[in-house]
Structure 1
Amino acid sequence: MALIPFDPFRNMEGWKRDFDRMFNDFPAFVRGEQQFGAHRVDVHETDTEVIATCDLPGLEKKEDVHLDVSGSVLTISGTIHRSHEVKEEQMHQRERYVGRFQRSIGLPAPVQEEGIRASYKNGVLEVRMPKLQPPPKKNIDIEFH
C-alpha cells in the first residue's frame, strides 16, 4: 500500500467550483441589481477570438444594455423594462425578471478593445472579442568570432 502525503488543500478547487455553482444558480441581489441568476452565459474561444453568448430576453432597445471590457473581464449590464403594467392584485405568479442587472465574466484570454462586435437576436446577445495577439518573437542574430 502506497502512502500519500496529507494535503489539506487537495479538495479546495472542487469546493470552490461547487460554491461558485451554488451562487450562480440562484439570483443574487447586489445593490438592487440582479447578479444574473436566470440569464446564462456561455464563453468559448477560437484561435482568433473569444465569444460570449448570453440569454437576455426582454430587451426592447439597444440603449437598455451596456458592455464594458477591462483587461480580461467582460461586464454586461442594463435594464429590462416591463412591457405593460399589471396591478398587484391581478398578479398570480411572477417569475420573469424586470429591473437592473449586471454580470462580470472572466475571459479565458486577453482581448483587444478595438474590433469587439456585439449582436442581439431572438433574446440572445452574442459578443465577439478578438484575442490580443502577442508581439511576434524576434530572432536575435548571434555574432560568432
Structure 2
Amino acid sequence: MPLMPYEPFRYLDQFRREFDRFFSDLPENVSAIGERFGGPRVDVHETEDAVIVTCDIPGLEKKEDVKIEIEPNLLMLSGTIQHTRDVKQEQMHRQERMVGHFKRTVSLPTSVSSEGVKATYKNGVLEIHMPKRMNEQRKAIDIEFH
C-alpha cells in the first residue's frame, strides 16, 4: 500500500468549490426575498449610446405599481403585483404566480444618465433605455519635446 501524505485541507478545498458553485447564482443584494425567489428576471445589454434592461414583470396593472430609480451605475426596480381576483385561501389549490412586493437592484456595465430615460411596458415585459453618461471627449495632449 503506497503512503500518501496527510492533507487535512484537501476536502475543505472541495467543499469551498461546491459552496461557491451553489451560491454563484445568488444576486448581489439579497435583501428582498423577491430577488432570489420569483423576483423579476432581467437581461442587460448595451449599444453604442445606451444601456438597455429588459425585465419580465407579468401582472402589473398600472404604472404606479412599479418604481424605477437610477444611479450612475445602478438600476433599482421595485413594485407590487396585485391579485387580479379575490380567491379565498381555502379555495386555492396551487399558487405559483408571483404576487406581492418585489425589489431588484441591477449593476449596470457603465455609467448612465437619468436624463432621457425611456421605459415601456408591453405584454408583461418592462424595457428601460438609459443613455450612457457622456464623458469628456478624448483629447490628444501635445508634448513639448526638447
Interval of TM-score (by shorter of Structure 1 and Structure 2): 0.7 to 0.9
Label 1:116 to 1:14 Cα distance change in 2 as closer, same or farther (>3 A): farther
- 1:95 aligns to 2:96 (yes or no): yes
Structure 1 gaps of 5+ residues are 1-11
Structure 2 gaps of 5+ residues are 1-15
1:19 corresponds to: 23
1:9 corresponds to: none
Bigger Rg, structure 1 or 2: 2
Moved more, 70-79 or 34-43: 34-43
1:35 corresponds to: 35
In 1: Cα distance, 2:113 partner to 2:67 partner: 17
Q: Percent identity?
A: 49
Give the alignment's Cα RMSD to 1 decimal.
2.6
Q: CA deviation at 1:13?
A: 10
Other structure's SS at 2:24 match: helix
Other structure's SS at 1:85 match: coil
TM normalised by structure 2 equals: 0.76
Q: CA deviation at 1:140?
A: 3.8
In 2: Cα distance, 1:104 partner to 1:85 partner: 30
Q: Which runs of 4+ in 1 moved over 3 A?
A: 12-18, 139-145
Between the two proteins, the alignment pairs up a number of residues equal to 129
In 2: Cα distance, 1:143 partner to 1:67 partner: 50
Q: CA deviation at 1:123?
A: 0.1
Q: CA deviation at 1:35?
A: 1.7
In 1: Cα distance, 2:42 partner to 2:143 partner: 50
